[in-house]
A and B are shown apart, each in its own frame.
Chain A
């Protein structure tokens, strides 16, 4: 489980790009790709090594005022966990 005060950034092997064919972002890494929904893409963009996990949750919650904060928190943590399992996250800038 990722620590709340960790400052995640995308591993150098992962590249985020917008896929105009499907109208969504994709995270590309060797031999693979993940199609990201808008929220996942926003989280990936915030993973620069500068913000803590808590700060990423705060920023997303502020953008989605209509969504309960616990829900946003759960989604962010679940997505970061998926990235970590695939070796796509590093810590620090």
Chain B
């Protein structure tokens, strides 16, 4: 029985399978590569629990099966339990993407009882020094304790480490740690240089030698652990030699809803100025998904210019990352400069080949965004560590 295609070969060319629900931008961590907006202070009021519940329902009706409960730190939302319960009722595969810092064993047990499907915990590295340097404070022991609870409670664990020049040498230790914690999946995802990470590129971008070594180590781990632990290794676009099929194409498979309700095709999309992203509640999610001008802007191939327009790979990589094209060239319709065929590729090549020898200071996420709406707790800190 040619059993199964990967879901994604859907008859509906623009069916979203995944809702990324960014429940808050508040976070105890200050990661220097955070995927939340650089302009954290400018965001609107957080959606309340009832509005999120509606978003989940409308997303499920549109075809979503995967739900990422993320942030910032989603545990800072006291409505989280009710939202997990609601997701379970809708048959959504709920994945809690957390720093684990505010987690308690009791709270995790409650989430498990409400049907939470998977827990993803971020770690900044295997040493206190790198954790502190990247996230502003070392929480490694707290994270390891939380990971152990995940395992004890019978929940599947994903361990996520964002790689960069300052922790990439720890890759073998990260693999050992994930095995010891009984993780089902290990994400070794290199930083992509957008937002906060672009501001910190000089301090974070690895050298070609580091990348080659890490790639070989990750490949060996992947082979050895096949069937036991899934190992995902993602190259930085700067070193990949070809553009990444970012989000599987603009507004094609992923729906991101921000803490203040904007409907985006990816976490970073608001960095592209000139696009107006609609908010949930203004129209139904289905209407926004199907005909919002901002979501249509880079869908399919109509927006493409040369060299993308006539390229064989255009249906595979969709021209790469729109946010990266905008951040580096000022034109979101341009070929992603990560592509060697891009007329702007020299920017990426120069950044890659000119990795500074001295350690450059890391610029951490700025402290707290304004306090959220009443009733959603008094979290300190800001943004995302997940």
Contact = CB atoms under 8 A, between A and B. Distances in A.
A75 B228 CA distance: 23
Contacts of A19: 7, 65
A15 interface: yes
A59 interface: no
B156 A40 contact: no
A68 interface: no
B50 interface: no
Nearest to B8: A33
B229 interface: yes
A13 B6 contact: no
A85 B231 CA distance: 12
Contacts of B117: 13, 15, 28
B216 interface: no
B118 A34 contact: no
A78 B1 contact: yes
Given A21-B12, A87-B227, A37 B6 contact: no
A34 B17 CA distance: 12
Interface string A1-36: 000000000011101010101100011111111111
A11 B184 contact: yes
| Chain A: interface size category | 20 to 34
Given A21-B12, A28-B93, A85-B226, A37 B156 contact: no
Contact of A36 (B4, B18, B66, B226): B4
B185 interface: yes
Contacts, number: 94
A84 interface: yes
Given A22-B10, A30-B120, A30-B156, A37 B4 contact: yes
A82 B4 contact: yes
Most buried by B among A22, A31, A37, A85: A31
Interface in B210-227: 226-227
B274 interface: no
B4 A34 contact: yes
Given A13-B184, A30-B184, A79-B3, A35 B9 contact: yes
Interface string A54-93: 0000000000000000000001001100101111000000
B1 A28 contact: no
B98 interface: no
Contacts of B164: none
A87 B225 CA distance: 9
B7 A34 contact: yes
B3 A40 contact: yes
B229 A39 contact: no
Contacts of B229: 87
B386 interface: no
B7 A86 contact: no
A35 B154 contact: no
Interface of A: 11-13, 15, 17, 19, 21-22, 26-37, 39-40, 43, 75, 78-79, 82, 84-87
Interface of B: 1-12, 15, 17-18, 63, 65-66, 91, 93, 95, 117-118, 120, 154-156, 158, 184-185, 226-230
Top 9 A-B pairs ranked by shortest CB distance?
Answer: A33-B7, A13-B156, A40-B3, A75-B1, A34-B4, A39-B1, A79-B3, A28-B93, A35-B7
